Amino acid sequence: MICVGIDVAKDKHDCFILSSEGEVLADVFTIPNNMEGFGKLLQTIRACSRPGDKIKVGLEATGHYSYNILGFLLDKGLPTFVINPLHTNLYRKSLTLRKTKTDRVDARTIAAMLLSDVDLKPYTGTSYHNEELKSLTRYRFDKVRERAKLKTAVSRLVCILFPELEKLFPNLHIASVYALLREFPGAKQVAGANLTRLKNLLHEASRGRYGRENAVEIRDIARNSIGSFMPAKSLE
């Protein structure tokens, strides 16, 4: 069996190859984080192995830095193990290696972990899909949080620029209100709007729900609004 330990970093990866007999087949060597470097790693692995040899490749879970080399290894059909850095650290301490963390030590530690087979499971299609689901979940959570902040900001600005607007609609955060504020961002602008343009805008944004009567009401209220005229806030 051939065990390959890889310590992943942003611009380069340190690699170490060990045989099942504990023989060092390739002492720590560094590859750049690009296709040429990946090719060098694959070439070195092949040079160190014979037909029929079982190959295990391990690397630490280092977030987005490990995605590309992981994908490359999986595409080449190499059984790959993604190891929690905490486990690597604990295993290194159990071997009484130097306490100072260096890439050189980590590459060797990972290879040794693969050789000892300490309850490691290979990265599979299920693992890949789980990572994708995690990424999508995080992305959705971030967008929902951003949307909530934007809604709060819109409510705050309307309270300053056209506070009466909130009572004219069931909800500030609907297409009709957003269309109105996009073109007329404040009571001052609504008060000076062309009635036909205002009516058409509301009618189109609401899909016919709001018409001329609503446009007249909104403009009349805007002309008597206590809202401040603040161009900077309107720009927001």
Predicted local confidence at residue 37, as pLDDT: 95
pTM of the model: 0.65
Q: What pLDDT is recorded for position 60?
A: 86
Q: What percentage of the chain carries pLDDT values higher than 70?
A: 94
Percent of the chain whose predicted confidence (pLDDT) is above 90: 68
Q: How confident is the model at residue 231 (pLDDT cuts 50, 70, 90)?
A: very high
Q: Among 18-27, 122-131, 227-236, name the most confident range.
A: 227-236
pLDDT band at residue 131 using 50, 70 and 90 as cut-offs = confident
pLDDT tens digit sequence for 158-212: 999 999 999 999 999 999 999 999 999 999 999 999 999 999 999 999 999 999 9
| pLDDT at residue 98 in the model | 52
Predicted local confidence at residue 227, as pLDDT: 96
Q: How many CB atoms lie within 10 A of CB 143?
A: 10
Looking at the predicted structure, is the pLDDT value of residue 97 above 60? Answer: no
- The residue among 162 and 61 whose pLDDT is bigger is 162
Alpha-carbon dihedral sign for residues 161, 167, 168, 171: positive
Q: What is the pLDDT of the chain when averaged over all its residues? A: 90
Q: For residue range 14-38, list pLDDT tens digits in order.
A: 999 999 888 999 999 999 999 999 9
pLDDT level of residue 123 (50, 70, 90 thresholds)? confident
Q: Look at residue 60 and give its three-state secondary structure.
A: strand
Q: Evaluate if residue 84 carries a pLDDT over 90.
A: no
* Greater pLDDT, 86 or 197: 197
Span of 99-113, 122-136, 204-218 with lowest mean pLDDT: 99-113
Question: What DSSP designation does 210 have?
Answer: S
Total H helices, total E strands in the chain? 10, 5
Mean pLDDT of 98-117: 73
Q: Which two tokens stand for residue 96?
A: 């009484």
- Measured at the alpha carbon of residue 94, what is the angle toward residues 89 and 99, in degrees to the nearest 5? 55
Dig out the tokens for 30 from the structure.
Answer: 């560094």
From edge to edge, which strands make up the β-sheet containing 24-32?
Answer: 24-32, 12-19, 2-8, 55-60, 80-83
Q: What does the pLDDT average to over 65-86?
A: 89
Q: Is the pLDDT of residue 217 over 90?
A: yes
